[in-house]
């Protein structure tokens, strides 16, 4: 914490000094040239079209934070499991299977994943969005039912993928670094038929890297072509196809010990090189059609199809004998299929009634998401001494390759899905020359969900429908200063393995009350957002302590019945600052205080405890300065840190031991150079070489955790042509 205070004090001094300097020159501020050689676009003024809104961020009655691709390049961020969340107040990556997907927590809960405005969340998916196909990422805080039919009340993040720009802009990039990282990217953006009739873009990426832990290697390939076709001046059609192939030794390098968190060497790995590797193939197709009707009215239709295929195995372990250092490993299947079909159609435009403007959005959403998996126990993976691991298990003692297949007759064959339809309308009423904006919206969603192990117990689908309202107001005190308030609700049909034969619909419900202040500074070069909120989440699935099924094949796996009666409450304060403070100096600074607790549970001892996955205090800083004149012209330096305090394990309310984790403090430093067509960036991560981890404590008293990388470096070289 001392390091954080020192960094914060230095940062405060810099900001005060920079504001004094800018005040002196405020009457003659140079215009920001977006395409300038050294300009870095950290601040975005509007959300992407995929969020359907027609409102600049400063006028929007909600906290929405956008992260530009420039920020990702400066931080040499490769995917969502890395430092992307550091750029948004209170957002945190919470561990589980980092190689596969990103479990992001915000405002006290795990948030949904959207791509191009469509909810693509699934079990262990979607595959980690890779930076090579990301144009920007938008974090929407709160239920935001006007943008998505279903999702956690805490919000979601929306990955906007790269599309044709209508210009010839090609680039290649090579990245290398610690642990034999080799990565190549190509971004080919151009025109097939001029005047915007037919444009194309092709993104390619291939990478290979080992890990700081032994016996771990990941390979990845991405092929992502897209086209934009405009047969008329009022019609735009865009098609995007993404293919991702991923191969790795293990999904997450968990370590376990009875001696406490981080009690083993950071390079330790419990995975054996002879265990089965996992291959993941992910295909997605996004189609969109925009038709201009008249004036500013547009009819938009979107469709997404996603097909995920997992082929592999996994291990787990526990301490079952008299020796506290001997871990027994068990091997399980991991065969899974995931398919998403999502359709959206809506109209948006404005109407004038006297001096009042109505910005209207109305539409229909449909989604059908399915997931099938077989996690059956396959055999013994051998025992190891966690302090003296001997690798190289005899392959003859391991399950044969033929054992790894999707067995729909297996006890632990898991079948789950959600199907929904939704109708919505929103009217943003602009009055007093757009100084006052009132938002009134409503959505009716009906859905069916199912989840369970049909070979152990019949699945009882949950059907539910509900109307969720939204009301908000935003007032511009000045053109660059606004205040807002919003009340919003959401609901998600869910299935629980209930002991009773009756099927009582118990959808997850939530509501958000939020107030905030937004300010653009110095002609909009940088902005700040401050928000306070309270979110209530009801009908959370909790354990039915009186009933349950124990897996007879594998004592590490319990199959409890559930009750949808839990409740959590999150209150907090958020602050975000982003943009160019003085010429050449771009910053991302944010802080969040999140008080998330359990307010209702079958276990009375849990009431009042911290909600799983929460961190009370999260503070991030990233500074990037580029010299524009003199002998150092084109050179840049960057530095940042991330602090998390009051952390709680994601496993929080299902274990009997204390789930609190020690504070987290990560540091970064980099140097770079940018020329007209060429750039190079060298970044040192975890500068202080701290043991950074997240984990949980099991019911048997043992500790489980995943390390983040120790001190490491990355070098990225790019060329535009």
Q: Are 116 and 286 in contact, with CB atoms under 8 Å apart?
A: yes
The pLDDT value recorded for residue 501 is 42
Query: In this model, does residue 526 exceed pLDDT 70?
Result: yes
Q: Regarding predicted confidence, which is higher, 240 or 652?
A: 240
pLDDT confidence of 350, banded at 50, 70, 90?
A: very high
pLDDT confidence of 98, banded at 50, 70, 90?
A: low
Query: In this model, does residue 513 exceed pLDDT 90?
Result: yes
Q: Please give the radius of gyration of the chain, using alpha carbons only, rounded to the nearest integer.
A: 26
The pLDDT value recorded for residue 127 is 82
pTM of the full predicted structure?
0.88
Across 322-435, the runs of DSSP E, i.e. the strands, are 326-353, 356-374, 377-385, 413-431
- Chain-centroid distance of CA 629 in Å reads 38
714/179 Cα distance (integer angstroms)? 10
CA angle 28, 29, 34 (to 5 degrees): 150
The pLDDT value recorded for residue 229 is 97
Looking at residue 708, what DSSP letter applies? P
pLDDT confidence of 29, banded at 50, 70, 90?
A: very low
Cross-strand bridge partners of residue 590: 576, 620
Query: In this model, does residue 451 exceed pLDDT 90?
Result: no
248/239 Cα distance (integer angstroms)? 30
Q: What percentage of the chain reaches a pLDDT higher than 90?
A: 62
Q: What is the mean pLDDT of residues 530-543?
A: 85
Torsion, Cα 451 453 454 455, to 10 degrees, reads 180
Residues whose CB falls within 8 Å of the CB of residue 400, separated by 6 or more in sequence, listed in order: none
138/158 Cα distance (integer angstroms)? 5
Residues whose CB falls within 8 Å of the CB of residue 481, separated by 6 or more in sequence, listed in order: 517, 518, 519, 520
Query: In this model, does residue 273 exceed pLDDT 70?
Result: yes
Report how far apart, in Å, the C-alpha atoms of 33 and of each of 39, 136, 525, 672, 683 are. Answer: 7, 20, 11, 21, 27
127/307 Cα distance (integer angstroms)? 11
The pLDDT value recorded for residue 657 is 84
36/518 Cα distance (integer angstroms)? 27
CA nearest neighbour of 109 among 141, 145, 82: 141
- Catalogue all structural domains in the chain, each as residue range(s) with its CATH number: 171-720 (2.40.170.20)
The pLDDT value recorded for residue 555 is 39
* Token output for 410: 């297996």
pLDDT, tens digit (0-9, with 9 covering 90-100), for 463-482:
888 898 999 999 999 999 99
Q: Regarding predicted confidence, which is higher, 510 or 185?
A: 185
Residue 530: CB atoms within 10 Å: 18
Q: Are 611 and 597 in contact, with CB atoms under 8 Å apart?
A: yes
The pLDDT value recorded for residue 450 is 86
359/370 Cα distance (integer angstroms)? 35
CA nearest neighbour of 315 among 247, 393, 259, 396: 393
Query: In this model, does residue 188 exceed pLDDT 80?
Result: yes
301/345 Cα distance (integer angstroms)? 4
pLDDT confidence of 602, banded at 50, 70, 90?
A: confident
Q: What is the mean pLDDT of residues 144-156?
A: 72
* Token output for 561: 């019945």
pLDDT confidence of 30, banded at 50, 70, 90?
A: very low
Residues whose CB falls within 8 Å of the CB of residue 354, separated by 6 or more in sequence, listed in order: none
Query: In this model, does residue 14 exceed pLDDT 80?
Result: no
Residues whose CB falls within 8 Å of the CB of residue 552, separated by 6 or more in sequence, listed in order: none
Q: Are 83 and 670 in contact, with CB atoms under 8 Å apart?
A: no
CA angle 70, 304, 459 (to 5 degrees): 120
Looking at residue 399, what DSSP letter applies? P
The pLDDT value recorded for residue 88 is 94
Cross-strand bridge partners of residue 268: none
pLDDT, tens digit (0-9, with 9 covering 90-100), for 378-408:
999 999 999 999 999 999 999 999 999 999 9
CA nearest neighbour of 340 among 183, 118, 511: 118
């Amino acid at each position: 914490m001392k390091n954080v205070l020192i960094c914060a004090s230095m940062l405060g001094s810099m900001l005060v000094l920079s504001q004094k300097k800018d005040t002196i020159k405020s009457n003659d501020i140079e215009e920001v040239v977006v395409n300038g050689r050294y300009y870095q676009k950290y601040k975005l003024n509007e959300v992407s079209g995929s969020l359907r809104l027609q409102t600049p961020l400063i006028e929007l009655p909600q906290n929405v934070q956008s992260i530009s691709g420039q920020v990702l390049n400066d931080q040499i961020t490769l995917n969502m499991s890395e430092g992307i969340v550091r750029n948004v107040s209170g957002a945190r990556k919470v561990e589980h299977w980092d190689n596969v997907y990103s479990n992001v927590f915000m405002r006290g809960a795990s948030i949904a994943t959207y791509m191009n405005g469509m909810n693509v969340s699934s079990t262990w998916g979607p595959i980690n969005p890779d930076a090579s196909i990301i144009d920007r990422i938008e974090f929407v805080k709160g239920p935001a039912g006007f943008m998505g039919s279903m999702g956690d009340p805490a919000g979601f993040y929306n990955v906007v993928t790269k599309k044709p720009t209508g210009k010839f802009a090609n680039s290649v990039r090579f990245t290398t670094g610690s642990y034999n990282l080799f990565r190549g990217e190509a971004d080919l953006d151009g025109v097939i038929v001029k005047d915007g009739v037919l444009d194309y873009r092709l993104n390619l990426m291939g990478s290979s890297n080992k890990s700081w832990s032994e016996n771990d290697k990941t390979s990845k390939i991405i092929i992502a072509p897209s086209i934009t076709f405009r047969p008329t001046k009022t019609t735009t059609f865009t098609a995007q196809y993404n293919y991702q192939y991923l191969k790795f030794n293990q999904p997450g390098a968990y370590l376990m010990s009875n001696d406490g968190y981080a009690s083993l060497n950071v390079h330790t790995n419990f995975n054996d090189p002879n265990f089965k590797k996992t291959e993941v193939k992910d295909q997605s197709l996004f189609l969109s059609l925009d038709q201009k009707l008249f004036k500013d009215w547009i009819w938009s239709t979107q469709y997404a199809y996603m097909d995920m295929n997992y082929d592999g195995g996994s291990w787990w372990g526990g301490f079952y004998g008299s020796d506290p250092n001997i871990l027994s490993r068990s091997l399980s299947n991991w065969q899974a299929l995931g398919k998403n079909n999502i359709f959206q159609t809506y109209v948006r435009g404005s109407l004038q009634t006297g001096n009042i403007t109505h910005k209207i959005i109305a539409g229909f959403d449909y989604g059908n998401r399915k997931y099938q998996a077989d996690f059956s126990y396959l055999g013994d993976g051998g025992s190891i001494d966690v302090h003296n691991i001997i690798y190289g298990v005899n392959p003859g003692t391991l399950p044969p390759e033929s054992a790894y297949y999707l067995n729909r007759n297996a006890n632990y064959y898991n079948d789950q899905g959600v199907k929904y339809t939704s109708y919505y309308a929103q009217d943003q009423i602009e009055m007093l020359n757009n100084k006052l904006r009132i938002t009134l919206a409503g959505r009716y969603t009906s859905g069916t969900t199912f989840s369970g192990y049909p070979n152990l117990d019949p699945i009882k689908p949950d059907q539910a429908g509900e109307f969720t309202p939204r009301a908000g107001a935003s007032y511009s005190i000045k053109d660059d200063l606004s205040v807002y308030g919003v009340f919003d609700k959401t609901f998600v049909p869910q299935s629980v393995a209930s002991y009773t034969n009756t099927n009582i619909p118990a959808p997850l419900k939530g509501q958000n009350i939020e107030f905030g202040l937004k300010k653009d500074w110095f002609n909009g070069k940088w902005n700040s957002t401050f928000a306070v909120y309270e979110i209530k989440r009801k009908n959370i699935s909790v354990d039915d302590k009186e009933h349950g099924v124990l897996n007879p094949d594998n004592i590490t796996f319990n199959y409890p019945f559930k009750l949808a009666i839990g409740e959590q409450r999150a209150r907090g304060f958020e602050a975000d600052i982003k943009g160019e403070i003085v010429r050449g100096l771009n910053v991302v600074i944010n802080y969040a205080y999140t008080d998330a607790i359990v307010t209702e549970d079958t276990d009375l001892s849990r009431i009042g405890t911290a909600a799983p996955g929460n961190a009370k205090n999260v503070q991030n800083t990233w500074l990037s300065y580029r010299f524009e004149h003199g002998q150092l012209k084109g050179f840049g330096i960057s530095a940042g840190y991330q602090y998390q305090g009051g952390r709680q394990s994601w496993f929080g309310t299902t274990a009997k031991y204390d789930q609190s984790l020690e504070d987290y403090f990560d540091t970064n430093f980099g140097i770079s150079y940018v020329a007209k067509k060429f750039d190079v960036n060298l970044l040192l991560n975890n500068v202080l070489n701290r043991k950074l981890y997240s984990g949980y404590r099991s019911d048997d008293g043992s500790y489980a955790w995943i390390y983040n990388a120790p001190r490491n470096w990355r070098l990225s070289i790019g060329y535009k042509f």
